Homo-oligomer: A and B are copies of this chain.
């Protein structure tokens, strides 16, 4: 296209953005209008993409980090012939694929859900890592960011990662329209302020007038041909560009234009330009899923093994068997044991340093390209990435997260290092799976099972050693549980997972000595929970004590109650968990202080059974 045609295409994208928002009665047309020329040039001249084959391995990848500019994205889809005008006008309506913020669950051309700002570039870094280190089909990753979102630290984690990894297949286009939601940004139209920052993180930068289509065209060409560095294009634009009284004005964020018809006329009225988007080059994926037979590691009953070690060994074995498994570390691989995988499969190991948001975002990016990522750090530090985990579930992303050093059982390091909110956090994620093994063989099986699940999967591992209690060939279906002790005379059920399984077993032994028969359930699948087994235990024993190395809210106790919230009779229940703020102490002292050691469990069980009898 020539200059005039590109300019016309930009105007069409503006007009369609205005129309879509007007039809919806909500949305962000002004944020779309600032970036319309940037999008027009990208679509017409630089993006290599087959809209009929979104899974084509040679396709470039485009991420709209400023997800609220969805009218622009959908207008571009229309210009590319991927959707029609009728669908464009379903924007934001019930059942429409065109949501307020784009998601891959609805649209095959969307790489990742956006709408929480500062996430597009980190996920784009994950995609570019896949492209450069694994897929190697030559695709380019383009990320369109707003200027406001550059205040998010996650953007600079991503900038650091991309610069260090020399991701020259990555371009970020920053739509510097100088206006955030509530007013001006910190740096206004000072492109140099942004350029200095990206340069400091070893990026190539280009400053450009974002409404000069020829200059933008040249900038994209320069970005694509820059070697050894990612490129940031800082584009000076005007919010609401092209409509007098709207352009560059505060107070018009996230609203349909006040006079849509007049605005459309001012923009030259509707057009019907169709863009022939460049075909991607022929390419095939390098990875094959099955690369050979493999066996998960096995341990003998009675061995003392930390579940974190079992995770490391199992993941390594899984990686030997499956070429699509990748591992990511947040600079604690020696603690989480992810480093075992690194030694065996260095080509599929991603060191993310101490940057948990980028750790999870890289996993999301890799998963979007068909890889099966396991990202591991301390359970406590996954809280740093909660917004990314939440958004991964909006994307329907299939990622495995592994949190080690769970609970007070870590001992002396104290509360900053203890995952005590992770079960609550992960259970509340839509469609998530939450697993918490108590021995090495169980851990290995669950590590293997996770790979085949949908959605966000979470495995909680422990720092200290614990005895192997299961045979190596035991099966652990997700959604199941294990009844470790039971008899017809059981008057109480103890429900535990992870480290507290061993405490519960000891408590049961003690109570048995006193003549109280006790059932013990290992609830290794915290979500989904094994309703049938819990209900049977409730019916047969009447009393339940749950015990967990986690704050009482949202963890195993609440998961157990999931089995009883459909109106059926509920057992008498006591929920043990960490109710005080721990300090430093030995693991044994910690369990005792929190009232989740064998003695405390036995005491709670005894009291519940006695009270049940008295009543």
Contacts and interface: CB of A to CB of B under 8 A. Distances in A.
Interface string A131-175: 000000000000000001101111111101000100000000000
Interface string A567-594: 1111111110000110111100100010
Contacts of A103: 414-416
A331 B553 contact: no
A562 B553 CA distance: 8
A200 B195 CA distance: 9
Nearest to A545: B567
Interface string A542-571: 010000000111110111011011111111
B554 A427 contact: yes
A438 interface: no
Interface in A92-124: 92-96, 98-101, 103, 105-106, 113-118
Given A115-B414, A581-B394, A353 B383 contact: no
Contact of A416 (B94, B394, B565, B572): B394
Interface in A327-381: 329, 331-335, 339, 353-358, 380-381
A157 B164 contact: no
B101 A353 contact: no
A196 interface: yes
A332 B180 CA distance: 9
A199 interface: yes
Interface centre among A103, A572, A583 (most CB of B within 10 A): A583
A458 to B, nearest CB: 13
A71 to B, nearest CB: 12
Contacts of A381: 116, 387
Nearest to A393: B581
Contact of A574 (B152, B335, B567): B567
Interface magnitude class on chain A: 35 or more
A151 B386 contact: no
B558 A567 contact: no
A597 B429 CA distance: 22
A108 to B, nearest CB: 16
25 contacts: A94-B584, A99-B414, A101-B415, A115-B415, A153-B155, A153-B357, A153-B358, A180-B331, A182-B329, A185-B353, A386-B387, A386-B421, A394-B416, A421-B429, A424-B424, A424-B553, A428-B553, A430-B551, A430-B580, A430-B581, A558-B561, A564-B573, A567-B607, A569-B572, A570-B572
A420 interface: yes
A199 B329 CA distance: 29
Contacts of A575: 565
A226 interface: no
A418 B201 CA distance: 33
A331 B424 contact: no
Interface in A392-433: 393-394, 396, 411-417, 420-421, 424-425, 427-431
